[in-house]
Structure 1
Amino acid sequence: MFFTYLRRELRRRRKAALVVASGLALGIALVIVVNSASAGMQQAQGKVLESLYGLGTDMTVTKAAPPPSEGGRERPRFNFDAQDGDETQSSDVVMPQGFETLASSTVGKVAGQTGVAGAVGGLSLSVLKVDGEFKPGEFAPRENTSGGGGGGGTGGPQGEVRGGGANFGVNSYTVYGTDTAHQDLGPLTSSKITDGRAFETTETDAKVAVVDSAYAKEKKYKVGGDVTIKGTKFEIVGIATADSGDASANLYIPLKQAQTLSDSKDKVTTVYVKADDSQQIAAVKSAVQKNIPGTTVTTSADLADRVSGSLSTASDLATSVGKWLSIAVLIAAFVVAGLLTMSAVTRRVQEFGTLKALGWKSGRVTRQVVGEAMVNGLVGGALGIAVGVAGAYVLTAVSPSLTAEVGSAAAGPGGGGGGMIRAGGPAGQAADKAIEIALTAPISAATIALALGLAVTGGLIAGAFGGWRASRLRPADALRRVE
């Protein structure tokens, strides 16, 4: 009887039911689109942070480098012989970049802190290569136009040296020393090997290298070839492509080789840390800073706060305006659905009054009204999910491009550690670096569950309005309105 009456009344009042369901659907669809877009922005921001940090890294431990005036690293110096002839000369300077070096034992200290699941050290290097040649000048005798003695009273030829000089080029690139025995943390994890192979765990001190794909294309490096760093040849075993399009270094070599090239034995510039629990990152950060003084601990949240550009603007918009707009629309939809349901009950005063006169209890009338409102809510939820999924699909198909600008407070080898965005990567060379990310709008099961919950909530609210009005009707009301 309940479902028969319910079906008949909904069919008879389908226009009013569609209006109520459409209002709820609008609010639910907006919530789905905003939540999906927000999730897509979080994914995009995660890709940016992975390119800065490395996949799986929760924080980094570094030490800020003091300025040269306070005992920091000096500027690189190049020494060349003033040789005759056209012989090419070359000089490489390999030095840690961005941060003051830490003792390798720091990695073990960090790994021993409570809440740390793993810690890996890395050495970020900047290589400056200067090569070219000196050309001696040529002596050109000066013509004697005075008509006097050719020697001019000096007894020797007169003239001047013309031409000659120096022609040198400068090439700079970044090298990252990777702990090949622990490759699950660090910047190389944000890249995929697209040609050749990755490092083997036994190649802790081997003369092998992995080259970033963009740099390999620029320099025409191939797997099986070699690259020379400070007179040492490294065999190229793999080409790596960064997921975000922005690699952490141009070349990757085993950590021990990087330490040897830069005269940084048993030194690292960065310790990459993975926490046991992502909810305890702040506690781990405090423990490391307390127990290992003089270090700077930077978490992924710290980096996220420094990401600017359209990605940051869109994320703020979705977080603030978008969510508040969704809430406002939902509240309006719930209130309108409730008022429309209550108005419909008022127009059915004769019907409900007659049913009460025939023996229906107030509770039965109320359940009937609530049942109709719940069906309207579920229909609105289904419509809202369909519209919301379609909107998210369109957003993903369009894939608008967002830029994330990651900057550093200092540049170059003397940069301060606390201000660096790229943890040990080449961002020390550039104050602002833009990374382009395509926005998607993934829909999760939690978002669909939220939509269903909102649909049920909307039906309950509308039913509460209508049920309250129906419970106040009396049989006498119907009798007074019978013509």
Structure 2
Amino acid sequence: MFGIYLKRELSRRKKAALVIALGLALGIALVITVNSVSAGMQQAQDKVLTSLYGLGTDMTVTKAQAAPTDNASGRPNFEFDAGSDSDETQSSDRVMTSGGQALKASLVGTVAKQAGVANAVGALSLNVTKVDGSFTQGTAESSTSGSGSQQGGPGGGQATGQPRVQGGGANFDVNSYSVAGVDVSDQDLGPLATSKITTGKTFTTAQTNSKVAVVSASYAKENELTTAKTITISDTKYDIIGIATPDSSESTTDVYLPLKQAQTLADSADEVTTIYVTATDSKQIDTVKATIQKNISGTTVTTSADLADTVSGSLSTASNLATSVGKWLSVAVLIAAFLVAALLTSSAVSRRVREFGTLKALGWPSRKVTRQVVGESIVNGLIGGALGIAIGLGAAYAVTAISPTLTAELGSTGGAGGGGRMGGGGGPGRQATASTMDIALSAPVSLTTIALAAGLAIAGGLIAGAMGGWRASRMRPADALRSVQ
């Protein structure tokens, strides 16, 4: 009886049921869209953090760069022989540490022994500025002046001008790239952990101090490098054994060397600039951070949450918009949709005075009338939920198909991270300059979001049904008689 009556009443009031369902659908669709876009923002931010941090890295330990002394400006210095022949090409490399002040390599073991630390690996971030080119010597030429003053009175010769140098100059190319010293004994943590070797091979544990290198795919393409070639840094040749492609986003390091080789290049024996750390429990990262800072003075511990605060640009703006404005807008629309559904249901009950009064006169108890109204409202809510899920999935698919590009500007937090790029002219007194990344936005929809939408649909139906059922339960059989004209 309940099902038959329910089906008949819904078919009789199709327009009213559709209006209620559409109101709920719009609110639910907005919730799905906002949640999916927010999830896409989180994925985009994770890509940015992964490119800086390394897979599985919970935090990094660095030391803020010290201010330069009076005798050390911190700027690169290049020396060339200005008297060389013009045909001779001159080249000079300047290797400098980046990403913070150097730390003793022994601190890696100290950090690894701290409570809550699962593993710790040291790395050395370098910036290499290469200048090469040649000088061109000028030629001295004498010039005469026909209107110059005469010497020895009338009939004297014309004055000869001072010789001038014509032509000459210098033509030098400046190239700056980043180098990371990798602990070859543990490559699952550190700067190389974010990439996979797509050509050649990675370092072996026996290559602790070998003159071999792995280059990033972008740097290899830019400089036409392959595994059959070598790369020269400060007059030292390194055999390229592998090409590394980042798992996500772009690589922030151009060349990877064994840690000891990087230390030799920078004249930084037994030193590192960054210690990558993983915690035993991801929920205790803040506690581990506090422990390291307390027991190892002078260091800066940066977690992924700290690093996320340095990401700016359109990605940050869109994320804030989706998180704050979007969610509050969803809540407001849902509340409005629920109220509209409740008011429409209550209004529909008011127009069914004769119907419910007659049913009560025939012996229907109030609870049965209320159950009928609530049942109709729940069905309307489920229809609205189905429509809302369909609209929300369509909106999320449209966002993913369009894939709008967001820009993320990567800042610096005391030199933490994987050793970002630095332009020529950077020095020890300067932190890594910010780099920019373009991230394609997607809008993934999870089963949790769909379950939330279904729950909201049922909740909307219950709220509308509760208000309508309460009004219907207060009707009396006499009300039906008064409504007869």
CA distance in 2, matches of 1:103, 1:172: 26
* CA deviation after TM superposition for structure 1 residue 389, in Å: 0.3
* CA deviation after TM superposition for structure 1 residue 380, in Å: 0.7
Contact kept? 1:188, 1:248, Cα under 8 Å: no
Provide, for residues 8-29 of structure 1, a one-character-per-residue CA deviation record: whole Å limited to 9, x for no partner: 2111212111111111000000
* CA deviation after TM superposition for structure 1 residue 135, in Å: 6.2
Flag the 1:247–1:73 CA change in 2: closer, same or farther, 3 A. Answer: farther
Q: Which residue of 2 aligns with 1:256?
A: 260
Do structure 1's residue 28 and structure 2's residue 23 form an aligned pair?
no
Q: Which residue of 1 aligns with 2:420?
A: 425
Provide, for residues 338-378 of structure 1, a one-character-per-residue CA deviation record: whole Å limited to 9, x for no partner: 11111111211211121112121111111111111111111
Identity of aligned residues (%): 66
Q: Which residue of 1 aligns with 2:351?
A: 347
Flag the 1:427–1:450 CA change in 2: closer, same or farther, 3 A. Answer: farther
Flag the 1:113–1:476 CA change in 2: closer, same or farther, 3 A. Answer: same
Do structure 1's residue 470 and structure 2's residue 472 form an aligned pair?
yes
* CA deviation after TM superposition for structure 1 residue 185, in Å: 2.2
* CA deviation after TM superposition for structure 1 residue 81, in Å: 5.2
Residues 237-386 of structure 1 correspond to what in structure 2 (within 5 A)? 237-243=241-247, 245-386=249-390
Residues 192-271 of structure 1 correspond to what in structure 2 (within 5 A)? 192-243=196-247, 245-271=249-275
Contact kept? 1:111, 1:117, Cα under 8 Å: yes
Q: Which residue of 2 aligns with 1:400?
A: 404
Q: Which residue of 1 aligns with 2:110?
A: 109
Amino acid aligned to 1:196 = G
Flag the 1:140–1:472 CA change in 2: closer, same or farther, 3 A. Answer: closer
CA distance in 1, matches of 2:102, 2:468: 71
Further displaced range: 247-256 or 377-386: 247-256
Contact kept? 2:129, 2:177, Cα under 8 Å: yes
Amino acid aligned to 1:44 = A
Contact kept? 1:306, 1:421, Cα under 8 Å: no
Amino acid aligned to 2:340 = V
CA distance in 2, matches of 1:235, 1:76: 27
Contact kept? 1:248, 1:426, Cα under 8 Å: yes
Contact kept? 1:47, 1:243, Cα under 8 Å: no
Amino acid aligned to 1:99 = G
* CA deviation after TM superposition for structure 1 residue 253, in Å: 1.1
SS in 2 for 1:56: coil
Further displaced range: 239-248 or 101-110: 239-248
Q: Which residue of 1 aligns with 2:177?
A: 173
Flag the 1:132–1:26 CA change in 2: closer, same or farther, 3 A. Answer: closer
Amino acid aligned to 2:377 = A
* CA deviation after TM superposition for structure 1 residue 203, in Å: 2.9
SS in 2 for 1:368: helix
Residues 436-455 of structure 1 correspond to what in structure 2 (within 5 A)? 436-455=438-457
CA distance in 2, matches of 1:76, 1:174: 15
Amino acid aligned to 1:121 = G
Flag the 1:346–1:427 CA change in 2: closer, same or farther, 3 A. Answer: farther
Provide, for residues 288-309 of structure 1, a one-character-per-residue CA deviation record: whole Å limited to 9, x for no partner: 1111110011122222212111
Flag the 1:373–1:275 CA change in 2: closer, same or farther, 3 A. Answer: same
Q: Which residue of 1 aligns with 2:59?
A: 59
Mind listing any 5+ residue stretches in structure 2 that lack a counterpart?
153-161, 427-431
* CA deviation after TM superposition for structure 1 residue 6, in Å: 1.3
Flag the 1:286–1:169 CA change in 2: closer, same or farther, 3 A. Answer: same
CA distance in 1, matches of 2:151, 2:70: 64
Contact kept? 2:181, 2:263, Cα under 8 Å: yes
Do structure 1's residue 184 and structure 2's residue 188 form an aligned pair?
yes
Q: Which residue of 2 aligns with 1:151?
A: none
TM-score by length of 1: 0.88
CA distance in 1, matches of 2:131, 2:38: 48
Q: Which residue of 2 aligns with 1:128?
A: 129
CA distance in 1, matches of 2:55, 2:382: 41
CA distance in 2, matches of 1:45, 1:422: 15
Provide, for residues 436-456 of structure 1, a one-character-per-residue CA deviation record: whole Å limited to 9, x for no partner: 111100001111111011011
CA distance in 2, matches of 1:182, 1:451: 45
CA distance in 2, matches of 1:379, 1:206: 68
* CA deviation after TM superposition for structure 1 residue 283, in Å: 1.7
Provide, for residues 104-144 of structure 1, a one-character-per-residue CA deviation record: whole Å limited to 9, x for no partner: 1211222222222222211001112334456677788999x
SS in 2 for 1:99: coil
Q: What root-mean-square deviation, in Å, do the aligned CA atoms of Structure 1 and Structure 2 show?
A: 2.8
Contact kept? 2:117, 2:279, Cα under 8 Å: yes
CA distance in 1, matches of 2:381, 2:480: 28
* CA deviation after TM superposition for structure 1 residue 179, in Å: 1.4
CA distance in 1, matches of 2:72, 2:166: 42
Q: Which residue of 2 aligns with 1:434?
A: 436
CA distance in 1, matches of 2:15, 2:140: 103
Contact kept? 2:48, 2:249, Cα under 8 Å: no
* CA deviation after TM superposition for structure 1 residue 431, in Å: 3.5
CA distance in 1, matches of 2:419, 2:405: 27
Q: Which residue of 2 aligns with 1:45?
A: 45
Mind listing any 5+ residue stretches in structure 1 that lack a counterpart?
149-157, 409-417
Q: Which residue of 1 aligns with 2:100?
A: 99
SS in 2 for 1:248: coil
Further displaced range: 386-395 or 109-118: 109-118
Amino acid aligned to 2:129 = L
* CA deviation after TM superposition for structure 1 residue 230, in Å: 1.8
Amino acid aligned to 2:474 = R
Flag the 1:421–1:438 CA change in 2: closer, same or farther, 3 A. Answer: farther
* CA deviation after TM superposition for structure 1 residue 78, in Å: 3.5
* CA deviation after TM superposition for structure 1 residue 240, in Å: 2.1
Contact kept? 2:127, 2:422, Cα under 8 Å: no
Provide, for residues 187-245 of structure 1, a one-character-per-residue CA deviation record: whole Å limited to 9, x for no partner: 32333433223333443322221112222122111122111122222111222233555
User: How many pairs does the alignment contain?
Assistant: 464
Further displaced range: 183-192 or 339-348: 183-192
* CA deviation after TM superposition for structure 1 residue 82, in Å: 6.3
Amino acid aligned to 2:319 = S
Contact kept? 1:244, 1:437, Cα under 8 Å: no
SS in 2 for 1:426: coil
CA distance in 2, matches of 1:327, 1:462: 17
